[in-house]
Structure 1
Amino acid sequence: MIRVHLDGEIREVGKGTPLSTLVPGQPAGCAVAIIRPATQEQEKTGSITVSTTAGEITIELAGREVDILEHPEAEKSLALHWTDRYAAAFGPFLSDVRPERKPRLYERGDVILGCGGYDPKTSYLIFSKSRHLADHGADETGGVIGRVVSGKAVLDRWATGDRVTKAEPVISWADTSRSFTTTDMTLTLEEGMQIVTRVDMMAQGYAPERITTEAAGSVEHLLLALNSGRFTIGRATSTHILDQKLVGTDVPSQFKRPRREGTVTVRTGGPSVGGVYIYRADVPSSPAHSVVGQVVHGIELVKLAKEGDILSTQVIPSRIDLLGLPLEEAKEVAANRGIALAIDKDSADRIVVSQEPGTTLDVLAERSAKVTTAPFAQVVDIVLDDARAPESCIVFRKITGLAEHDAGMMPAFFVFDDVYLFKPKIPTTVKIYPENCPTDEVPAASLAITNDSRKGTGLVGVRLSANREFGPTSEPFEGTNIIGRVIDTGKLKSVKERQTVYIREVNQ
């Protein structure tokens, strides 16, 4: 048998065991980090990862060695002894502290070596939870041995019974010749290997016991971008990795802070606006970036990942978006999340078409939400043709709300004969280039959008019968982009001008 580390936990497997046996549930195509033990033995950084029963933190050491953190029996000595609103202390243990008996000013995240009753035999590792002035029995330097740079939310979660379970130095990334990412599940496991399968992030403003909404809008963008559980690396540099899924999407500028290792941001201005960044190294704050979260597990995978890799991700909390759900299902989701629902009309044959508040953090902070529903008879199902009209489909989803939710809406503009025209609000900066224009006959129930070659750009139309001369928006073929089709056309027959029509995208 050999011992390997899987996401921080020790596992014993037989010699020659393939990676697939250890991670049978790994999402297809998602890379894992493989760290061979030689890399860690060769060189250490000035940081250490500390696993506790409430979560994982990374400490950037201030130069002083603290043997208790790497001692094999650390978990027996480092149990939470006390905690309050200002600090949390783990211990006691023996140290060589010479207490100065003088109060010092500490910042959130400072890690202090101090002692109780000025006795080195009862020394503690003290984690500062907020800015405060105190005498923690530290030496003349103030006793700050390091700073928490990743996982600060864990500091607020510690409670009676929590303890340190493991402390390991962060490996040097100067030489990663023996560490890499892979999707090869046939890889043979080796003694001492570390395998990191996912990246977990805590959203800015979220903690189980307290939720703040200073970044609610930009956090919602993060939850939407990573709703699939995948971070696709479109760019990888020495300081960050970037997911470009939602590049081009406007994001509110809300929470500017220094971007430290493990910080997650969204870009709020510039060429990659809407992109999601995870930082590998500390960089200054930027007016074009809003902080939306912090990596709490898997920073090794972030550091080793390369351009083109897809990482399995989880954001805490998960998104609350009830739009497009049948009302009964929405009620079940809300109940499971502890959310009280105010419903305009409670009936089993209805679907949610609006939710207030619209962001997850606001809903969780208020523990309630108000939903507007519509009967299924007024919700039109459509299929979009991404293969033939990818750019036009992206535009359509943005202007109808389908890019963000499972249900969208369009205002009816004009109805005549078997033609139904809709006029969603479209920004002047959006371009709709000719794409998938018909050349022969437009089939019945085709869904189309007028391109920029005509004055009515952005007009959406459906024609219930086939036509060889005009498209669904009553434009010539060269001005018509076919983007999909309507499934239940019968529901359109009751649509009146100026009526809001709700739509839902389905796969067929």
Structure 2
Amino acid sequence: MPITSNEISVEVNGQGYILPAGSTLGDALKVSRAPYIAGAAVGILKKAAEKRTEEVTEYAINTPKGELRIEIKDPESSSGKLWAEHYKEYEGKSIHWASPEAVAFGPFEADIKPSRETGSFEAFDVLFGAGGFDSHNTHLILSRRRHTAEYGAPAEGVFAAVVTGRKIIFKLSREDSILSIDPVIEWEQLAEKTCTTDLSVPLEDEDSIFTYFEVELSRNAPVGAEHFYALTREGTFNVDVVTSSFISDDILREVPVPYENFEARREGTISMRTVGYGTGRTYISREERPSSLVHSVVGQVTKGLELIKLAEKGQKLSVESLPPQIILLGHSFEEAEPVLSSIGVELIRDGYTGKDSVIVRQDPPTTLEILGEAKVTAYAVSRAKLIEVELYPERAPKSVDFFRHSLELKTKTVGKLPVHMIYDDTYLFKTEEKVVKYKEVLPENTPTGKVLAGEIGITNQAAKRMGTIGVRLVDDDLFGPTGEKLSSTNIIGRIVEPERLKEIKEGDSIYIIEAARRRIDDQENQE
């Protein structure tokens, strides 16, 4: 149905919508109900910008064995023009024949003038050829190695070359076909593009809008996938670094992640650095890069790659992960069982099983392993041992980072904290993670007056017991929560219900959950 002069046509994440002329980005988001996190950046690509790209010279050919790319050598040649006008017609074409020298997709009819001359071809050349010198029997031929042959190619012969994904050519067989062919647009060179958080931006006819990106996580990297879940816990990916070849999020930098999966880094590949400078940093590739022994591949962007290419430093992007993360920690068996049952996962109860139980450990520990085994053992304690804390990252950023890192709260929703010593109204804890070896605890947010009951302190490096965590159940204006003088104590937060500690004994362990995180989980349960 044609649109009127009072309307505009826009696309939101690939879906078309008709809006009144003068509509804003916010209007489009409301009408489309597109996935979007408030405050995240949205990409807008003008149709006019795409039209101004005079020559598309690179194309992505997707096959069951992977993606390869070809570059057109001469767009003005007859074969170059034929390709540009008809490349979509070659989608679905199977490999008709394959030899050590070349593979051929087809046949199909094409407007070419076959030549009977013998041609010389280099590895990775691309050409049209006519079986029996008949244009009704045309094939798309990809050369595997240097050779000579009579393919019935047009006089100009080779019109393109495979530039990336060359290994794919050697993996192709008679069972394979062309799944899709898409032009590669150099987004960075387009003038009329933007990535913005301003929802009042007016839209124009034929604008394309991208509100989020979707990631499919790899079963070959279950721990890395859990790292990505933790990174995007709030539904967003922070764009801390931008280059022509990648964007990266540094939130979990310095949090170790194992090397699990060796794969080529295609456009949209999610990878994590596992050793050296930047360990724990998460990358999303903007262009193809070779495999790396220090980058473990954990997933692939399956929708919204345009948003990755349009993103700017300092922004955050909305993201959805497949499959969704399974979060058991901090929940009761009664909350967890129906959710797991709905996805075909058996729940085995372990530990405390009373009505006030709360899950603090699970085996297997990762979402992808749980789904793979269709079974999970959940260990619970009484809710009295789940201690809710409110942390002060604005006042003591380094010390709060130390605390979260020590208890693995950067990647988990519940952390374990063993009770080291109890005397009078003072409770001292020692972390299981030996973060003290590589994390400094410099003085910050040291109290100058009274320390309130329930406040959490960490001994800083001005004292010998650096890294000790403590809480007192009474106010004190002489010593901090770890029993050190005030100048040797960093205050990092408070326990919401400190009286819960009265039931704790030396040798026990308590389990920590952040107050803000708990509120978010509760809201999700209500919804």
Give the TM-score taking structure 2 as reference length: 0.76
Quote the residue 1:191 is aligned against: 205
Q: Answer yes or no: is the 8 Å Cα contact 2:479–2:486 preserved in 1.
A: yes
1:414 aligns with 2:424: no
Paired position in structure 1 for 2:384 = 377
- Aligned-residue offset at 1:471: 0.8
Note the alpha carbon deviations across 1:450-477, whole angstroms, 9 max, x for none.
1111111111111100111111111111
Moved more, 60-69 or 476-485: 60-69
* Alpha carbons of structure 1 residues 38 and 314: separation in structure 2 relative to 1, 3 Å: same
Task: Return the alpha-carbon distance in structure 2 between the equivalents of residues 442 and 377 of structure 1.
Answer: 25
Structure 2 partner of 1:436: 445
Whole-angstrom CA distance in 1 between matches of 2:93 and 2:285: 30
In structure 2, C-alpha distance between the alignment counterparts of 1:3 and 1:175, rounded to whole Å: 24
Structure 1 distance, partners of 2:15, 2:105, is: 22
The aligned amino acid for 2:46 is R
The Cα shift of 1:4 comes to 2.1
Distance 1:78 1:175, change over 3 A: closer
Match of 1:263 in 2: 269
Pair 1:223–1:302, CA change in 2 (3 A): same
Matches of 2:139 and 2:374, distance apart in 1: 38
Unaligned runs of 5+ in 2: 1-6, 73-78, 96-103, 115-125, 142-150, 169-177, 520-527
Q: Distance in 1 between matches of 2:490 and 2:343?
A: 42
Larger Rg: 2
The answer to whether 1:280 aligns with 2:286 is yes
CA contact (8 A) 2:246 2:286 kept: yes
Aligned to 2:250: 244
Counterparts of 1:110-125 in structure 2, within 5 Å, are none
Which protein is richer in helix relative to its size?
2
Q: Residue 95 and residue 338 in structure 1: after superposition, are their counterparts in 2 closer, same or farther (change >3 A)?
A: farther
Partner residue of 1:328?
334
* 1:148 CA displacement: 9.4
1:78-133 deviations in whole A, cap 9, x for unaligned? 67999xxxxxx9999645799xxxxxxxxxxxx999999x998799999xxxxxxx
Query: 1:202 aligned to 2:208?
Result: no
| In 2: Cα distance, 1:358 partner to 1:114 partner | 54
Q: Which residue of 1 aligns with 2:480?
A: 471
Distance 1:324 1:248, change over 3 A: same
Equivalenced residue count is 466
Helix, strand or coil at the partner of 2:491 = strand
> Distance in 1 between the 2:448 and 2:159 partners?
77
Q: Percent identity?
A: 34
SS in 2 for 1:260: coil
Which residue is 1:132 aligned to? none
Cα drift, residue 317 of structure 1? 1.7
Higher mean alpha-carbon deviation, 474-483 vs 14-23, is at: 14-23
Q: Does the 8 A contact of 2:459 with 2:467 survive in 1?
A: yes
Once the two structures are superposed, residues 254-279 of structure 1 have per-residue CA deviations (whole angstroms, 9 ceiling, x without a partner) of 22333232222111122221111111
For 2:184, what is the secondary structure of its paired residue? Answer: strand
CA gap 1:416/1:148 in 2 versus in 1, 3 angstroms: same
Q: Distance in 1 between matches of 2:252 and 2:485?
A: 32
1-side partners of 2:253 and 2:512: how far apart? 24
- Give the corresponding residue for 1:499: 508
Letter in 1 for 2:48: A
Deviations 1:224-244 (A, max 9, x none): 112222111111111111111
1:371-410 to 2 correspondences below 5 Å: 371-410=378-417
In the other structure, the counterpart of 2:356 is 349
Q: 1:208-239: CA deviations, max 9, x gaps?
A: xxxxx3x2222221221122221111111111
What pairs with 1:52-451 in structure 2 (closer than 5 Å)?
60-61=69-70, 63=72, 94-95=109-110, 169-173=183-187, 175-205=189-219, 213=220, 215-344=221-350, 346-425=353-432, 426-427=434-435, 428-451=437-460
Does the 8 A contact of 1:78 with 1:90 survive in 2?
Answer: no
Q: TM-score, normalised by structure 1?
A: 0.79
Q: Give the deviation of 1:7 after TM superposition.
A: 1.5
RMSD of the TM alignment (CA)?
4.2
Find the aligned partners of 1:174 and 1:47 in 2 and give their Cα distance. Answer: 15
SS class of match (1:452): coil
* Partner Cα distance (1:300, 1:330) in 2: 36
Match of 1:133 in 2: none
Take 1:224 and 1:329, find their aligned partners in 2: how far apart are those partners? 21
In 2, the alpha carbon distance for the partners of 1:368 and 1:485 equals 37
Instruction: Tell me how far 1:305 sits from its aligned partner.
Output: 1.5
Distance 1:496 1:144, change over 3 A: farther
Q: Which residue of 1 aligns with 2:37?
A: 27
Whole-Å separation in 2 of the counterparts to 1:144 and 1:372: 59
Distance 1:410 1:115 in 2: 72
Deviation for aligned residue 1:69: 9.1
Give 1:314 deviation, angstroms.
1.7
Secondary structure class of the residue paired with 2:228: helix
Instruction: List runs of 5+ in structure 1 lacking aligned partners.
Output: 83-88, 99-110, 127-137, 153-162, 206-212
